[in-house]
């Protein structure tokens, strides 16, 4: 089952909407300099209505990549979020911003000053406390991880579906599942309260 088919099959919950009525994406691709050095072909293959978070923090051509990604996505109803750099998001006319836990905790006012009306703002969260901080800061959705064992952070204790669902019920904002997501194990998230899934391998790993 493909990820777009899985998104429809899971029908995670009643679709969440942003302020102004726009729907949240069901699928979010996270870019990765090592596993996905050129993310543009994968972005082109995303289903309409999805989103992509550009990380590529150490790429010297990050600004150019961001601009090309926004241009590619604009015609396909794909939203591009820039991780950790509101100035770059504004410069390339991206659709939003992704924040680390540290940015939410320590720099909330700084990024809010740069926030453009209509932006989708997501944040990383690894605890219920982080979810509540993000909610108070005005973040739209949180990416909770790791839900399953993941090669990216093999030392991290994963949540599992029961604890993940409990966090979804507690959360004051929309929650996405991140970490070790595959089309096979994402089936276990049905009725968890998740608004969607985010990841890298789920979009690029075959078989």
DSSP one-letter string for 58-117: T-TTHHHHHHHHHHHHHTTT-EEEEES-HHHHHHTT-SEEEE-HHHHHH-HHHHHHHPPT
Res 204: pLDDT: 79
CATH of the domain at 145: 3.20.20.70
Distance of CA 30 to the CA centre of its chain: 7
Tokens of 124: 């990383």
What mean pLDDT is predicted for residues 23-41? Answer: 93
What is the spatial distance between Cα 145 and Cα 116, in angstroms, rounded to a whole number? Answer: 27
Identify the CA nearest to 193 among candidates 159, 167, 156: 167
Res 75: pLDDT: 82
Res 63: pLDDT: 98
Whether pLDDT at 122 is above 50 = yes
How confident is the model over 143-187, as pLDDT tens digits?
999 999 876 766 678 899 999 999 999 999 999 999 998 878 888
Lowest mean pLDDT among 13-17, 139-143, 162-166: 13-17
Q: For the chain, what is the mean pLDDT?
A: 88
What mean pLDDT is predicted for residues 8-21? Answer: 57
| Confidence class for position 132, pLDDT limits 50, 70, 90 | very high
Identify the CA nearest to 167 among candidates 191, 186, 149, 194: 194
Domain count, the chain: 1
Res 1: pLDDT: 44
Q: Structural domain of residue 80, as residue ranges?
A: 3-204
Res 6: pLDDT: 56
Strand, coil or helix: what is 7?
A: helix
């Amino acid at each position: 089952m493909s990820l777009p088919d899985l998104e429809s099959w899971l029908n995670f919950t009643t679709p969440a909407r942003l302020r102004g009525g726009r729907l949240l994406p069901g699928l979010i691709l996270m870019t990765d300099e090592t596993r996905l050095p050129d993310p543009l072909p994968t972005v082109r293959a995303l289903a309409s209505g999805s989103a992509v978070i550009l990380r590529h923090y150490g790429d010297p051509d990050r600004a150019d990549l961001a601009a090309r990604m926004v241009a590619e996505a604009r015609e396909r109803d794909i939203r591009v979020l820039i991780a950790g750099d509101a100035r770059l998001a504004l410069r390339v006319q991206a659709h939003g911003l992704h924040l680390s836990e540290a940015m939410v905790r320590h720099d909330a006012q700084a990024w809010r000053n740069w926030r453009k009306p209509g932006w989708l703002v997501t944040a990383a969260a690894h605890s219920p406390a982080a979810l509540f901080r993000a909610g108070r800061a005005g973040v739209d959705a949180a990416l909770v991880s790791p839900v399953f064992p993941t090669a990216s952070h093999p030392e991290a204790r994963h949540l599992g579906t029961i604890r993940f669902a409990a966090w979804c019920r507690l959360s004051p904002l929309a929650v996405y599942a991140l970490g070790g997501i595959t089309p096979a194990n994402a089936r276990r998230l049905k009725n968890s309260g998740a608004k969607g899934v985010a990841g890298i391998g789920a979009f690029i790993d075959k078989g």
